[in-house]
Amino acid sequence: MNKTILILKSELITTLKRKGFFITTLAIPLLGLLAILIFHLVSNLTQSTPAETIRIGYVDQTGIFTQYTAQGNIELVPYSTPEEAKAALLAKDIRDYLVIPQDYLAGGFITRYSLKTDIEVPSGIRSAISSFLVSNLLRDKVDPAVASRIMYPLALASFTLDQSGHVVEGRGGYGTWLISYLFSILLLISIFTASGYLLQGLSEEKENRIMEILLSSVSTRELITGKVLGLGIAGLVQMVIWLLYFWGLLHLASGSIGGIFSGLQFPPSVMVLGVIYFILGYFLYAILMAGTGAIAPTVREGQQMSVFFSLLAAIPYFLITLILEGGDSLVNIVLTILPFTSPLTVMMRLWAGVPAWELGVSIAVLMLSIYGFLLLAARVFRIYLLMYGKTPSWREIIRSLRQA
């Protein structure tokens, strides 16, 4: 046990001193702060520089559209004839001009003329023209408040109820989905940062023949246990730092930026399940990476072999559309229970809620998988840790495991 603790301390201190670990840990929070700073700079520049007024000419042959010509930074300028409007356009007094025909009420057709070739009318201009038309059509016919509500009919707030009819906090909506999605990315980075260091360390020690010296002083079990726990603690430290930074950035953004950020919440379930799935996901992939490091004769070949596990973990990103739209579909249930994909899938599904039985089965399967792969990894270490030369094929590995 003493030797295991010594290896744990050595791996933990070595990892915390790594420049790559330090940069990765601080880079994400600094990027968040930089994003908030850029937002403030852009907002200040936008506020200090008034929006340029866009002049749109129009020829009204119906005699209806005479008011509401100011629509934000867009001004609609009336002209008596199309020829007069065309002359203003060629003189670049206006950006475009419209011809509203006499039978507009029957068909709704309007002709637009411009010197620019657009795939479609810019959304800001289209919205201003629509507001101009609707306001004049409803003038003196309905109450101004009703007219305003006709133009902007919907401000939708959505809530999720539990089985007892109470509102569930921190579930549903774009903000909650954004937190879950970003957290899944942080989880993936943290898991593969820590387990990647384990793979790199084992491969380097094996390639440089340092492993022979280590195994002359400690047992295989003590070596692997110390390395896995030491790097796991380092990864957990990284995860906790990100959680604290993320929580602080969320409050800073909600107070300084507002908008969608003002309604964002950091549900406790995200933090609790994030830590649980980090620990389980890390142990699963750390054991797989350790086995890969024992088999691969060089660091480069070990990294090439580990790409397979990275792709397994990233499967939820390839199926993100199905996950977001699937609810409790078979795809979501399988990805939630499958140990290789469950950490990311659960994080991505938390915004909409994951049934308790799926979480229970997912955690149980992860724990059983960790135990099973640990037994296989022990066999792999006994066979390949001191074996040098070419990388064995999958058929040779399976045959060796059966004979061990």
pLDDT digits (tens, 9 = 90+) for 233-274: 888 888 778 777 777 766 665 555 544 454 555 566 677 887
The answer to whether 100 and 62 are in contact (CB under 8 A) is yes
Which of 87-96, 136-145, 171-180, 347-356 is predicted most confidently?
A: 87-96
How sure is the predictor about 388, in pLDDT bands with cuts at 50, 70 and 90? low
> How many residues are listed for the chain in this entry?
404
- For residue 339, the model assigns a pLDDT of 92
Q: What is the mean pLDDT of the chain?
A: 78
Q: Are residues 123 and 218 in the same domain?
A: no
Q: What is the pLDDT of residues 272-308, one digit of tens each?
A: 887 788 888 888 888 888 777 777 766 677 777 778 8
Q: Are residues 300 and 258 in the same domain?
A: yes
CA 359 – CA 220 distance, rounded (Å): 34
DSSP state of 404: -
Query: Domain for residue 1, yes or no?
Result: no
Cβ atoms < 10 Å from Cβ of 342: 27
- For residue 272, the model assigns a pLDDT of 80
Beta bridge partners of 56: 76, 96
Mean pLDDT of 180-198: 75
pLDDT of 157 over the 90 cut: no
pLDDT of 172 over the 60 cut: no
In the sheet where 74-79 sits, what is the strand order?
Answer: 70-71, 74-79, 54-60, 96-100, 111-114
Q: What is the CATH number of the domain that holds 81?
A: 3.40.190.10
Query: Domain for residue 111, yes or no?
Result: yes
CA 275 – CA 190 distance, rounded (Å): 11
Longest dimension (CA), the chain: 98
DSSP state of 161: B
Run of H or E residues at 362: helix 356-384
- For residue 46, the model assigns a pLDDT of 56
Q: Are residues 245 and 342 in the same domain?
A: yes
pLDDT of 125 over the 70 cut: yes
How sure is the predictor about 361, in pLDDT bands with cuts at 50, 70 and 90? very high
Q: With left for phi above 0 and alpha for psi between -120 and 50, is residue 172 left, alpha or beta?
A: left
Q: How far is CA 233 from CA 13, 16, 280, 334, 375, in A?
A: 10, 10, 12, 29, 22
- For residue 264, the model assigns a pLDDT of 55
Mean pLDDT of 332-344: 90
- For residue 115, the model assigns a pLDDT of 87
**What pairing do the DSSP bridges indicate for beta strands 70-71 and 74-79?**
antiparallel
- For residue 265, the model assigns a pLDDT of 57
Of 84, 119, 151, at which residue does a domain stop?
151
Query: Domain for residue 78, yes or no?
Result: yes
pLDDT of 124 over the 80 cut: yes
- How many percent of the chain have pLDDT more than 90? 16
Q: Are residues 255 and 383 in the same domain?
A: yes
| Better pLDDT: 62 or 349 | 62
Backbone φ and ψ for 54, nearest 5 degrees, come out as -105, 125
Query: Domain for residue 24, yes or no?
Result: no
- For residue 179, the model assigns a pLDDT of 66
Q: Are residues 333 and 370 in the same domain?
A: yes
- For residue 97, the model assigns a pLDDT of 94
Cα-Cα-Cα-Cα dihedral sign, residues 349, 354, 358, 359:
positive
How sure is the predictor about 100, in pLDDT bands with cuts at 50, 70 and 90? very high
- For residue 75, the model assigns a pLDDT of 93
pLDDT of 156 over the 70 cut: no
pLDDT of 404 over the 70 cut: no
Which of 34-43, 170-179, 214-223, 309-318 is predicted most confidently?
A: 309-318
Q: Are residues 281 and 379 in the same domain?
A: yes
Mean pLDDT of 199-221: 73
Query: Domain for residue 291, yes or no?
Result: yes
Q: Are residues 110 and 65 in the same domain?
A: yes
- For residue 42, the model assigns a pLDDT of 66
What is the three-class DSSP state of 99? strand
Of 103, 124, 151, at which residue does a domain stop?
151
Query: Domain for residue 209, yes or no?
Result: yes
How sure is the predictor about 89, in pLDDT bands with cuts at 50, 70 and 90? very high
- For residue 187, the model assigns a pLDDT of 74
Mean pLDDT of 137-160: 74
Total domains present in the chain: 2
Q: Are residues 215 and 346 in the same domain?
A: yes
Query: Domain for residue 257, yes or no?
Result: yes
How sure is the predictor about 113, in pLDDT bands with cuts at 50, 70 and 90? very high
- For residue 385, the model assigns a pLDDT of 64
pLDDT of 212 over the 70 cut: no
The domain in which residue 301 lies consists of 170-403
Q: Are residues 110 and 202 in the same domain?
A: no
**What pairing do the DSSP bridges indicate for beta strands 96-100 and 111-114?**
antiparallel
Of 151, 180, 204, at which residue does a domain stop?
151
CA 296 – CA 202 distance, rounded (Å): 9
Query: Domain for residue 360, yes or no?
Result: yes
| Residue 278: both structure tokens together | 């980090």
Q: Are residues 177 and 316 in the same domain?
A: yes
Q: Are residues 184 and 233 in the same domain?
A: yes
- For residue 94, the model assigns a pLDDT of 94
- For residue 60, the model assigns a pLDDT of 94
pLDDT of 84 over the 90 cut: yes
Q: Are residues 131 and 190 in the same domain?
A: no
